[in-house]
Structure 1
């Protein structure tokens, strides 16, 4: 499978190497080894050692590691420059000074920031542009939901839109949706992904392999979307410049760019 962009990001606890190995074979586009919430504090030393051992050699899929905290210099030093590490995910960031410090310690490793507080959401663009090593931003919705007292997903629409706008304004890829914690609620996951896609997200993190095909289906364009994009590309090639299609759709450079993104996603399979 060739991918225009990752759509599925599967978390696996760093203190359970067997689960990490299963995640690497799950079909996820990216595996995220978690050294934070999924690992008990007294197991984090073991989790770091096991993760460093695994990443001492290249892996069959891209591997990110979620740090225990933005202040864990030992974890950053142990992981930076390992051949199997593609990126670090930094939780609970609020200050650009922390990002710049991490970037220096990480020796050029790309950083993905998790905004998990009201302050971080307010500073989204400043954090996204704090250092060239920042490769992406996203929300940590569980912590944000708790801080804001949000009772259902509708209360997250503004923070979600905020992080989408901040990422694009900073020249970063569209953010990845935060996890859907109920691994049995696949119908709810599909509906939530559809809403996230409408808000401008691209792909989603998962906590169980059974969620992966639901996420991928939700984020891949439908046959109707593919046909419409092909019509736009064909019309633009035949008639350069702005034009109107027979069904009334107006086509300009922005519409053509969106159609190309749609086709790039459709060509994953």
Structure 2
């Protein structure tokens, strides 16, 4: 399967919601031990997850950051078989990633870039052993840099995550959340903006956001039809120059077409 498009958060202290999240259509479920759980409830939340984890349907576990008293125990807990990957909040250095992996084993790491320090070190973080994907914690990033606008004000920083991911040969990064739960148009617009920037997915805070995000990061029917025409014409030409829809098909165009086809989900999936 290609990299997840929609990544849905579930509070770790509401483990009964994990099953519903798995059935929501989200490509990935993130069980959140960090922001979603109150300080006094973190230990109980972690202990309560043991029975809810399923090795056949692994989740991503967002642990508490390295600068917190819960990091060591969270990171060791993440070694369990029902955890498929670990999300590291406020990743600020490659050493943060190494500290996590020394405790959780060889689990893939999703590094949350949500501070100025994290962005300044984004290339080192992206190439750190074990990092599978970068994630933009846009809300915390705005707070850290005192940026009020979540569109123009963040464009340069979003572009840096996309570039760093490509240079490190990672999957395209995941964009941050949209706080409006019931505004499908806003969710769709934010997801489409992220896609246009080169992101490959988006964080979701409610199941109602999932379908809009999946749609934004999936090839449209007309795109797939174009891609099929390109590939079929190229194959029929046996590598010779060919034109489709009045335009020459060169190597980048063919690669784009193949990429679109590979991103299409099988029949019957979201």
Do Structure 1 and Structure 2 share a fold, with TM-score over 0.5? yes
Aligned match of 1:267:
265
Q: Do 1:66 and 1:89's aligned partners in 2 also have CA atoms closer than 8 Å?
A: yes
User: In terms of mean alpha carbon deviation, does 167-176 or 240-249 score higher?
Assistant: 240-249
- Deviations along 1:21-53, one digit per CA (max 9) or x if unpaired, are 321222211100000111111111111112233
Work out the CA distance in 2 between the residues paired with 1:102 and 1:212: 29
User: In terms of mean alpha carbon deviation, does 108-117 or 143-152 score higher?
Assistant: 143-152
Give the drift of 1:189: 0.8
Q: Would you say 1:9 and 2:43 are equivalent positions? A: no
Work out the CA distance in 1 between the residues paired with 2:148 and 2:93: 27
SS in structure 1 at match of 2:228: helix
Give the drift of 1:84: 1.1
Aligned match of 2:73:
74
Work out the CA distance in 2 between the residues paired with 1:243 and 1:123: 44
Q: Would you say 1:65 and 2:64 are equivalent positions? A: no
Work out the CA distance in 1 between the residues paired with 2:212 and 2:81: 31
Work out the CA distance in 2 between the residues paired with 1:251 and 1:15: 53
Q: Do 1:242 and 1:253's aligned partners in 2 also have CA atoms closer than 8 Å?
A: no
Work out the CA distance in 2 between the residues paired with 1:129 and 1:211: 31
Aligned match of 2:143:
146
Give the drift of 1:137: 0.8
SS in structure 2 at match of 1:53: coil
Mark the CA change 1:237 to 1:148 in structure 2 (over 3 Å): closer, same or farther.
same
Work out the CA distance in 1 between the residues paired with 2:248 and 2:178: 36
Give the drift of 1:149: 2.2
Q: Do 2:132 and 2:170's aligned partners in 1 also have CA atoms closer than 8 Å?
A: yes
Q: Which runs of 5+ in 1 are unaligned?
A: none
- Deviations along 1:158-198, one digit per CA (max 9) or x if unpaired, are 11111011011101000112111110111011111111111
Match of 1:238 among 232, 236, 239: 236
Q: Which runs of 5+ in 2 are unaligned?
A: none
Aligned match of 2:132:
135
Mark the CA change 1:206 to 1:212 in structure 2 (over 3 Å): closer, same or farther.
same
